[in-house]
Amino acid sequence: MKRSKINQLLASVLVNSIYAMKNYPVITLNTFLAPFSLLIVIDLISRGSLITASILGGFLMQMTSSGLSLQGDLVHFKVDFKLQDMVVTSPTSALIYYLGMALSELIYVLPSLLVLLLLALIYIKVTFIGIISIISVLAMMFALSTSMGFMISSWASDITESWGFSGILSTVLSTLPPVYYPISHIHLGLWHIFLRQLMLQSFCNHRLV
Amino acid sequence: MTELEVNNLTKLYDKKKLALDSINFSVKLNGIFAIIGRNGAGKTTFLRILATQLLPTSGTVLVDGVDIIKEPGKIRERMAAVPQEARPVNWMTPQEMIFSYLLWRGYSYYEAKVKTSESLATLEITEFAKKPNRTLSGGTKRKVLVATAISTEADIIFLDEPTTGLDPISRQQIWSLLKRIKENKLIFLTTHYLEEAEELADMIGILDGGKLMGLGTLSDFRSKVDFDTVVKIYKKIKLPPGLRGNIIYEVDGIHVYTDSHFAAELSESLLKEGIPFSVSPLTLQDIFFNVVHKNEEK
């Protein structure tokens, strides 16, 4: 029998995003609103001076939250529905399953990405190279967060534990780092600690070589 | 006919908990292969290894000559499984569930649509096709999962306790479906309902404490034991001397596994003394209790 790899990818997208968005519209609304809450607060506090950073922050946050949501969704399918076992005992490869699931998370955030793109076109003036850099960073962020999502989903024994991982990763990846604010706003003391650590690391590496 | 060969299959959890202990057998079979055993006997572990969902600690499993531990990809297109405690996805309908699973298996959009309708009709759940899974009864949810597995081209289907928690009517419906579809398929099911294995199975394996205690058809098991009748005495009494057979002391009385001749003699004396009892031919349940009892004695 000839098997369609496209349909195998599509199955994950249908199950994890299209049918969920269709049957639970509140999920679509929640995913859509998520990046705009911080964007609006930062824009109001900075009186518009950080609009560029906060729009880019919105993009980054959506890429990060994709991986975090993926982790929860995979655990849900694995533990609560045992769907992952059903897929394992089928001709679907692990790679196709995971790629499809990652793609399904992009479908979730697509509406908010389109609005952010519109805002970016209005407020951000960047060169062609700048656009390529932003897209590359977003792609890398998506790859990093979804990879972490896959890895953590294999550790988490149930959905409640996976919420704990999501909370920690969300703070570490999208709240503390300069996502919604420019890197130049990081306190000088923190920069010193960071640079000292970096120099120490390079020294140790040099000694080891 | 599917040829299944299991050699020294062992599974240890966390390097200490022995779930399966050197299982060996070889069968050539089409139809229903039931593994029976108590909770924790190793049934689910065994099924998950055969369904390529879990790796054993050691041993090999060959299906038609293919080593499914080393080359699972070669056999998975012939397999489908419904795990124990599986549930149809809440936010989907039965139609969406079966359709998506067929896409996962690589069917074309058109083929998946046709097979989904056929499968819903086979399980007689077409009327629920567009209702959200979360609103369905437990029995219908189970049927959706069985429909999902049988909608595929798979000729080896694994069902882990497919009727647990179902009412007698839903159970009967699933039994009659399995009897209908078992031609040209190997349906591997685990159950702790012994009447289910007795009703459905063409081949039965008894697992206890991770060991395969017996394997064969129901008539094989019957011929292997030295008795064919069970006398259940509902009172604890002193049994007459020269008793032929096995005696198991239960909380509410005594079970005597013996031959029909001695059962008649015993019945006569029990009748004279007015002691309540019943006599019945040996069932799978009786054989199972004997096997487990012997294992516990060891």
Summarised one tens digit per residue, pLDDT across range A90-125 is 999 999 999 999 999 999 899 999 999 999 999 988
Residues with Cβ within 8 Å of B122's Cβ and at least 6 positions away in sequence, in order, are B147, B150, B177, B181
Residues 17-56 of A with CB under 8 A from B: 19-20, 23-24
Asked if residue A20 lies in contact with residue A27, where contact means CB atoms within 8 angstroms, the answer is: yes
Chain A CB within 8 Å of residue B291 CB: no
Asked if residue B161 lies in contact with residue B84, where contact means CB atoms within 8 angstroms, the answer is: yes
Q: How confident is the model at residue A209 (pLDDT cuts 50, 70, 90)?
A: very low
| Chain A: residue whose CA lies nearest to B74 | A91
pLDDT at B140 over 50: yes
As a whole number of Å, the CA-based R_g of chain B is 22
| Chain B: residue whose CA lies nearest to A21 | B91
Q: Could you say which of B81, B101, B109 has the minimum Cβ distance to residue A85?
A: B81
Q: Which residues in chain A touch residue B96, judged by CB atoms under 8 angstroms apart?
A: 14-15, 19
Question: What is the nearest CA distance from A145 to chain B, expressed in angstroms?
Answer: 24
Question: What is the nearest CA distance from B59 to chain A, expressed in angstroms?
Answer: 20
What's the token pair of residue A200?
């120490």
Q: Could you say which of A23, A82, A93 has the minimum Cβ distance to residue B132?
A: A23
Per-residue pLDDT reduced to its tens digit, B71-80: 999 999 999 9
pLDDT of residue B242: 77
| Angstrom distance (rounded) from CA A140 to CA A146 | 10
Whether pTM exceeds 0.90: no
Q: ipTM of this model? A: 0.85
Name the residue among B231, B250, B251 with its Cα closest to residue B240: B231
Q: Could you state, in order of their start, the residue ranges of all structural domains in chain A? A: 5-177, 185-209
Chain A CB within 8 Å of residue B91 CB: yes
pLDDT of residue A208: 44
Q: CB atoms < 10 A from the CB of A172, how many?
A: 11
Amino acid at B282: L
Q: Report, as an integer, the average pLDDT of A9-20.
A: 95
Q: How confident is the model at residue A195 (pLDDT cuts 50, 70, 90)?
A: low
Which of A25-39, B99-113, B279-293 holds the top average pLDDT?
A: B99-113
Q: Is A82 within 8 Å of B103 when comparing Cβ atoms?
A: no
Asked if residue B77 lies in contact with residue B153, where contact means CB atoms within 8 angstroms, the answer is: yes
Residues 163-202 of B with CB under 8 A from A: none
Sheet containing strand B277-281, strands side by side: B246-250, B253-258, B229-233, B277-281
Asked if residue A155 lies in contact with residue A79, where contact means CB atoms within 8 angstroms, the answer is: no
| Beta-bridge mates of residue B7 | B60
Q: What is the DSSP letter of A171?
A: I
pLDDT of residue A74: 94
Q: Which residue has the tokens 């950080």?
A: A50
Q: A interface mutation test: which of B76, B100, B159 has the most A CBs within 10 A?
A: B100
Q: Report, as an integer, the average pLDDT of B160-170.
A: 88
Q: Could you say which of A23, A24, A89 has the minimum Cβ distance to residue B80?
A: A89
What's the token pair of residue A152?
């953590």
Residues with Cβ within 8 Å of B29's Cβ and at least 6 positions away in sequence, in order, are B1, B2, B4, B186, B202, B203
Alpha helices in chain B (DSSP H): 43-50, 94-104, 109-122, 138-150, 168-181, 194-200, 218-224, 260-273, 284-297
pLDDT of residue B159: 96
